Amino acid sequence: GAGVSQSPSNKVTEKGKDVELRCDPISGHTALYWYRQSLGQGLEFLIYFQGNSAPDKSGLPSDRFSAERTGGSVSTLTIQRTQQEDSAVYLCASSLEASGSYNEQFFGPGTRLTVL
C-alpha cells in the first residue's frame, strides 16, 4: 500500500518568503507528526496531530511556524518569512494513533528546504 508522501521533495526559497510543505499520511492513520532534521542533528519534534487537533505545539520554534490538518488526513506545515536557519529536512510521520500503547511511526522521505 501507499506510504507517507511529502511534497515537494526539494524547495529552494529566498529569505523572507513563505513556504508550505505538504504531508499525506497513510490512510487510516489518525496521528501525524512533523519533525525537523538539521545537518548533523537528530530529529527535532515540531508538532503532532491526533485527528485534526494538535494537542502539543510545544516544538514549534517560533510563531512563524504553523501547521494544520484537515479531514483527518493531509497536513500542511507553513513557515512564514523564512530565515536561513530554517534550512533543514522536514520529515512527516504517521501512526495509527498517538495515545494508548505505542504505535509505530511511518516516515515520509522528507522535504529538503533551502533558504538562500
Partner 1 sequence: GDSVTQMEGPVTLSEEAFLTINCTYTATGYPSLFWYVQYPGEGLQLLLKATKADDKGSNKGFEATYRKETTSFHLEKGSVQVSDSAVYFCALSSTSGGSYIPTFGRGTSLIVHP
Which residues are at the interface with partner 1 (CB under 8 A)?
A: 3-4, 33, 35, 40-43, 45, 48, 50, 55-56, 91, 93, 98-100, 102-110
Q: How far is the CB of 15 from partner 1 (least distance, A)?
A: 27
Q: Which is nearer to partner 1, 72 or 109 (CB)?
A: 109
Question: Under a CB-based contact definition with an 8 Å cutoff, are residues 90 and 82 in contact?
Answer: no
Q: Which is nearer to partner 1, 14 or 27 (CB)?
A: 27
CA dist 80 and 21 (Å) reads 11
Q: Which is nearer to partner 1, 15 or 57 (CB)?
A: 57
Q: How far is the CB of 14 from partner 1 (least distance, A)?
A: 26
SS3 63: coil
93, β-bridge pairs: 33, 107
Q: How far is the CB of 42 from partner 1 (least distance, A)?
A: 4
* Residue 90 CB neighbours (<10 A): 23
* C-alpha grid cell, residue 4: 507517507
